[in-house]
Structure 1
Amino acid sequence: MLNATTTTTSNAPEGIHLTCGMSGSHPLIFTIVPVVYGFNFVIGMVGNSMVVAVIYRYMKLKTVANVFVLNLAISDLTFLITLPMWAIFTATGYYWPFGSFLCKASAGLVIFNLYTSIFFLTALSIDRYLAIVHPVRSRRYRTAAYARISCLLVWLFAFVVSVPTALTRDVHNIDSETTVCGTLHMKDAVRQKNLLLAIGLMKSLLGFLVPFLIIITCYCLIGRALLSGRNIQKSARSREDEVLRMLAAAVLAFFLCWAPHQVFHFLQVLNQLRVLVDCSILEIIDTAMPFTICIAYFNSCVNPIVYGFVGHNFRRNLLRLLCCARRGLPGNHPSISSKMSALSYRASEALSLTTKSKTSSTNGK
């Protein structure tokens, strides 16, 4: 998404004039980024669809972890449907042909996915803490019903905090040369500047720092409990180990994917505070931002890979799903296969009878 960070307004009808020019406009970006978006879209749609299918068909929604993982996959799918539009937007040199509504909706879904992903990972971390450190006392609260209620609250809260981002995005004409979908920070719009600053700080705090402090705290408490070995049943530990490893891998993947983008996003916040105003620095930020966004978007297709490599139970059920799908193909349908076998058997029997009759007639002669 484009962020034209330093702008001046113009009352002329031809559009808005940029004091620092069209930052981050490089042919390399327009070539590589759309390809990465396309890769993320294909891998993410296939992988997360498999996660939904495996959990719904085999693993069911009887455990808290499965409920949260299913909602995390659905969150990624809702975001991934916007990637083709962002790929076209970047490939055409930041030209947005889809109108104002899709500009607002797509930008809102990007931030919506950020919040839902980190909130669901935080909820999973709290659940692992309760399951391992307080397995008995937390049993009455760690139910699928409570997990569904928690997911509903996460969806609602993430929607509320992502609405301001959608409202501040719109289609703008830049110097009558191109039409972009972005946020333009205007010097004479103090109220808009404060709103954008609040949105930026909220993205850094609620979308990254605060949840990670909660997650790290949960893991520290889990590690201390596992090292001491007190109040933890061995059977409970063996049941929860795989889920804990899978969650740890998912949290690490989220951090590695989103940390670079959050760093440059914080630099953009400093620009909004007028701490950074040099056009050369803004050029670096706007050039690096598309690549950090590519890395961040990769998180939506990395979770199914994490589940497949770390989760033995998920991998086993995924193989069951693939085997069932293979048997369901027209060439592998059980009834068709049985009919073909029967026909082959009858043909061989007829051939053997013909051969015997020819042999007997020859002997008779």
Structure 2
Amino acid sequence: MRNFTEKYHSANDTICLIDHSIHQMWFPVVYVFVFVVGFPANCLSLYYGYLQIKVKNELGIYLCNLTVADLLYIFSLPFWLQYVLQHDNWTYNELMCKICGVLLYENIYISIEFLCCISIDRYLAVVHPFRFHKLRTMKAAVIISAAIWTKEFLTSLLFFKHGEFTKDPESHVVCFEHYPIKSWEHTINYYRFFAGFLLPIFLLLFSYCCILRVVRKSHGTQLKKKLQIKQLVLSTVIIFLVCFGPYHVLVVVRSLFEKTCAFAAKIFNVYHFSLSLTSFNCIADPALYCFASESTYKDFIKLKNCCLRFSRCSKIETQESVEMNTPEILRSSGALAEKETDELNKHQLPHSVILHEQFYT
């Protein structure tokens, strides 16, 4: 079977018929996996961000915004799943196509920008803990977050004002894709690569290289703590490159060389595989920035205890009055034990973990 055909509607209008089998084989697996794993993980991440905000930590602002961006994309996955299962035939109106397309593409860049905010915030916390303290406030984090959302919203209005519906030679309504790419997409793709990927990865690498240099020179930090920080930094950079690197490279390749349906057909599978990798960022973000912190374990233990207390209260309402004092005793003893543990940890906290806490909080 041929991979493509061409139909010319005018001298400058070419529509390609390309084998989209990768969408039916690979993308449903990705979408279902990201939805099933990413939704609960990001809900927990949102809770962790809330806990950080509750203690006036500006990191929580960035984490909550990052999580909201991931969740918005996750909510669009059922629409994309239906689209690919129907052999790339969009059955909703064009407005819904634009909304889902914006959530798909803008989630990439909103996520990248908040990942940069987190890395710069950690850089200022570790390398310049007192010099730029005004940039590490709740107010500054809110202003920066609002600026990011506003910028991306205006960018989407500017870049996605074109019609997003096209029909392939099989009369399928294709959403948010053009083969070969249109002339107006070239500028957008170059902007995505340089401003949306190259500059952020430079900031990310700069921030974490400085952090690693400070950690390496710190004689008071335990070797285990140094290793944990190094692993987290290295994992962040690797996941950033794996999730976003291949897609942005291929975006530039398409802009430079995609002139005919023949080239579009050759690069179609690898390009869309790279696009699917960006979806895994919705799972990587909670894993790296929430569950990697040692303090998070304690926070989620508290969440578990709250859930257990709630379940106990619900169970007690249906039991005899003779059993109603038991949960109170359990809660009191649990609270006392937790208080004693906190006091013990506070007095036994060694000076060697100060740098470690500056990185995570």
TM-score by length of 1: 0.76
The answer to whether 1:86 aligns with 2:87 is no
Partner of residue 47, structure 2: 53
Query: Residue 35 of structure 1 contacts residue 87 of structure 1 at CA under 8 Å; is this kept in 2?
Result: no
Cα pair distance change 1:327/1:241, threshold 3 Å: farther
- Once the two structures are TM-superposed, the CA of residue 149 in structure 1 deviates from its matched residue by 0.9
1:24-43 correspondence to structure 2 within 5 Å = 24-26=19-21, 28-43=22-37
Unaligned runs of 5+ in 2: 325-361
C-alpha deviations, 1:119-171, integer Å up to 9, x for none?
Answer: 11111121122111111112233111111111111111122223344323512
On the 8 A contact 2:120/2:207 being kept in 1, the answer is yes
Give distance in 1, aligned partners of 2:231 and 2:130: 21
C-alpha separation between the residues in 2 aligned to 1:156 and 1:5?
41
| Distance change (3 Å), C-alpha of 1:7 and 1:181 | farther
Structure showing greater radius of gyration is 1
Q: 2:180 aligned with 1:198, yes or no?
A: no
SS at match of 1:310: coil
In 1: Cα distance, 2:270 partner to 2:19 partner: 8
SS in 1 for 2:18: coil
Q: CA deviation at 1:59?
A: 5.9
- Give the conservation status (yes or no) of the 8 Å contact 1:34–1:91: yes
- One-letter amino acid of the counterpart of residue 185, structure 2: L
Aligned partner of 1:300 among 279, 282, 297: 282
The answer to whether the 8 A contact 2:179-2:261 is kept is no
**Pairwise CA RMSD:** 3.3
- 2:189 is equivalent to residue 210 of structure 1: no
Q: Which secondary structure state, in structure 1, belongs to the residue aligned with residue 82 of structure 2?
A: helix
> How far off is 1:184 after superposition?
3.1
Instruction: Please say if 1:107 is aligned against 2:101.
Output: yes
Matches within 5 A, 1:208-357: 208-229=197-218, 246=232, 249-272=235-258, 274=259, 277=260, 279=262, 281-307=263-289, 309-328=291-310, 332-334=311-313, 336-337=315-316, 340=319, 342=321
Offset at residue 30 of structure 1 (A) = 0.6
Change (3 A) 1:269 1:317: same
Distance 1:132 1:75 in 2: 27
Aligned residue type for 1:216 = L
CA distance in 2, matches of 1:10, 1:319: 64
Name the CA distance, whole Å, in 1 between partners of 2:153 and 2:233: 24
Instruction: Tell me the distance in 1 between the aligned counterparts of 2:112 and 2:235.
Output: 13
Is the 1:133–1:225 contact (alpha carbons within 8 Å) kept by the matching residues of 2? yes
* In structure 2, C-alpha distance between the alignment counterparts of 1:92 and 1:318, rounded to whole Å: 41
The equivalent of 1:69 in structure 2 is: 63
Residue 205 of structure 2 aligns with an amino acid whose one-letter code is I
Aligned-pair CA distance for 1:341 = 5.5
Gap change, CA 1:340 and 1:246, over 3 Å in 2: farther
SS at match of 1:172: strand
| Counterpart in the other structure of 2:156 | 162
- 1:22 aligned partner: 17
In the alignment, what sits opposite 1:135?
129
Instruction: Look up the equivalent residue of 1:69 and give its one-letter code.
Output: L
The size of the alignment, in residue pairs, is 319
- Following superposition, the deviation at residue 294 of structure 1 comes to 1.9
Offset at 1:307?
A: 4.0
| Aligned AA (2:171) | E
Q: Secondary structure at the match of 1:168?
A: coil
SS in 2 for 1:9: strand
User: 2:145 aligned with 1:151, yes or no?
Assistant: yes
Q: Give structure 1 regions of 4+ aligned residues with deviation exceeding 4 angstroms.
A: 4-7, 238-248
Q: Percent identity?
A: 24
Aligned amino acid, residue 252 of structure 1? I
CA deviation string 1:1-38 (max 9, x = no partner): xxx99874359xxxx862xx422422x53133112202
Q: Is the 8 A contact 2:316 2:323 kept in 1?
A: no
C-alpha distance in 2, partners of 1:94/1:255? 28
3-state SS of the aligned residue for 2:133? coil
**Take 2:130 and 2:136, find their aligned partners in 1: how far apart are those partners?**
10
Question: Unaligned regions of 5+ residues in structure 1, if any?
Answer: 346-365
Distance 1:140 1:306, change over 3 A: closer
Normalised by the length of structure 2, the TM-score is 0.77
Distance 1:224 1:247 in 2: 12
